[in-house]
């Protein structure tokens, strides 16, 4: 399942970012994906719920921003953006296209809550024993 492997890599990414921020809990995550990445946003959001619970121990919201893919025609050099396959050059109609962007997945922002400023829920109880 395509979306699940992407969901897992997002969660791993977020985990790395979180490690740099100390004791925080992710609240919401915003990603950007090219529409040619072949992702179904709803499926990705669903998969991410599982991936995040597994890897992060919580399930933050996932906002998905879809971007158009940009390309350049190898025949006439025309630059353009598109959001469907198959792709043909709008200028000459040829299909030899060099994709210049929009296929990648990018972590745009990560909203977190500082656990030290909010409610302390898992602190050790010094009075035990
Ligand atoms: Zn062309």
Query: For 32-75, what is each residue's pLDDT tens digit?
Result: 988 777 788 999 999 999 999 999 999 999 999 988 888 899 99
Residue 64 lies in a domain: yes
Query: What spacing in Å lies between the alpha carbon of 99 and ligand 1's midpoint?
Result: 13
CA atoms within 13 A on the CB side of 96: 4
Q: For 75-95, how does the pLDDT look when each residue is reduced to its tens digit (9 = 90+)?
A: 999 999 887 767 789 999 998
Whether 71 contacts 4, CB under 8 Å: no
Cα–Cα distance between 102 and 19 in angstroms, integer? 28
Ligand 1 midpoint to CA 119 (Å): 59
Domain that holds residue 31: 2-68+102-112
Output the CA 2–ligand 1 centroid distance in Å: 31
- Residue 53 lies inside a defined structural domain of this protein: yes
Residue 127 lies in a domain: no
The rounded Å distance from CA 80 to ligand 1 centre is 10
User: Does 87 fall in a domain?
Assistant: no
Q: Which residues surround ligand 1, an ion (CB under 5 A)?
A: 73, 75-76, 78, 89, 91-92
- What's the number of domains the chain is made of? 1
Output the pTM of the full model.
0.70
Cα(12)–Cα(28) distance, rounded to whole angstroms?
Answer: 15
């Amino acid at each position: 399942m395509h979306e699940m492997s992407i969901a897992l890599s997002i969660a791993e990414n977020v985990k790395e970012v979180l490690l740099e921020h100390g004791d925080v809990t992710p609240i919401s995550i915003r990603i950007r994906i090219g529409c040619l990445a072949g992702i179904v946003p709803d499926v990705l959001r669903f998969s991410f719920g599982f991936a995040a619970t597994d890897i992060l121990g919580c399930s933050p919201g996932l906002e998905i921003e879809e971007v158009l893919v940009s390309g350049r025609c190898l025949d006439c050099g025309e630059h353009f953006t598109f959001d469907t396959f198959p792709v043909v050059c709008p200028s000459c109609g040829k299909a030899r296209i060099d994709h210049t962007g929009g296929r990648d997945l990018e972590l745009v922002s990560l909203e977190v809550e500082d656990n030290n400023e909010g409610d302390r829920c898992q602190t050790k109880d010094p009075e035990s024993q």
